Amino acid sequence: MDRSPALSIENVSFAYGKAKALDDVTFDVAPGKVTILLGPNGAGKSTLFGLICRLFAIPAGRIAILGRDLGANGAAALSPLGIVFQQQTLDLDLTARQNLRYFAALRGIASDEADARILKELTRLDMAERLAEKVRALNSGHRRRVEIARALLHEPSILLLDEPTVGLDIPTRKALIAHVQRRAREDGVAALWATHLIDEVGDDDPLVILNKGRVVANGRAGDIVAQTGAQDLDAAFARLTNGVA
């Protein structure tokens, strides 16, 4: 079995003018796992996602997608990615089906195949009955489900989710986390889930804690808690990000 990382971040740094947003960030994202990128607001999570998606050039360090260097291969290296941005990006005046068909067409997926994939992904998310509804009529949780379905339509190897549950209630957040965990486990997708919410992390999740642009912990969540001598992840996170004893 190939155990190579799906996504590699190596010694990546980035600054906005004189303000350093990322400082020598290094970690891997493995296939079949949901790696949690946990950090307070302003830690650099969205900046890192911007670099992975080539919204910004990488001034220092290296990012590789399925072994292909992003700097050397440019946009051609991005095809294995599925992306859910923090900000909502659906067309509110189109139906869920129309939004997904449009994305499928951009990806070169034939219409019959697109419709089959759309139905499959929305059924997995308990959203099939909402296919014909305009996105404007959907609540925030249902819109997020459509965006996750869209990110999976082209069967990506890597799924990036930048704070995907912001503003959602706890049951909806748990359902979305469980869905992405299933896709990783059953389909072999490598997922990178950025969040500032500690309750979205399981004991067995690969966890990267980012604070002020630096990786302050990297490993299995339960092991990180044990290494800090904390009672739970909340306390470990406080010690690692605030210097609390």
The residue to which tokens 């490993």 are assigned: 219
Domain-terminating residue out of 120, 155, 190: 155
Q: Which residues pair with 12 in a beta bridge?
A: 25
> Which of the listed residues 155, 175, 206 is the one where a domain comes to its end?
155
Q: Both 200 and 101 in a single domain? A: no
The whole-angstrom separation of Cα 193 and Cα 45 is: 10
For residues 125 and 134, give the distance between their C-alpha atoms in angstroms, rounded to a whole number.
17
How much is the pTM? 0.93
Number of folded domains that form the chain: 2
- Picking from 129, 155, 181, the residue at the C-terminal end of a domain is 155
CA dihedral 185, 190, 194, 200 (to 10 degrees): 10
Instruction: Tell me the one-letter amino acid at 100.
Output: L
Note whether 60 and 143 are same-domain residues.
Answer: no
Q: For residue 48, what are the contacts with CB-CB under 8 A and spacing of at least 6?
A: 9, 12, 14, 22, 25, 37, 194, 210
Task: Encode the chain (245 residues) as per-residue pLDDT tens digits.
Answer: 456 899 999 999 999 998 999 999 999 999 999 999 999 988 999 999 999 998 888 899 999 999 999 888 877 889 999 999 988 899 999 999 999 999 999 999 999 999 999 999 999 999 999 999 999 999 999 999 999 999 999 999 999 999 999 889 999 999 999 999 999 999 999 999 999 999 999 999 999 999 999 999 999 999 999 999 999 999 999 999 986 54
Mark whether 150 and 215 lie in a shared domain: no
**Domain of 136, in residue numbers:** 89-155
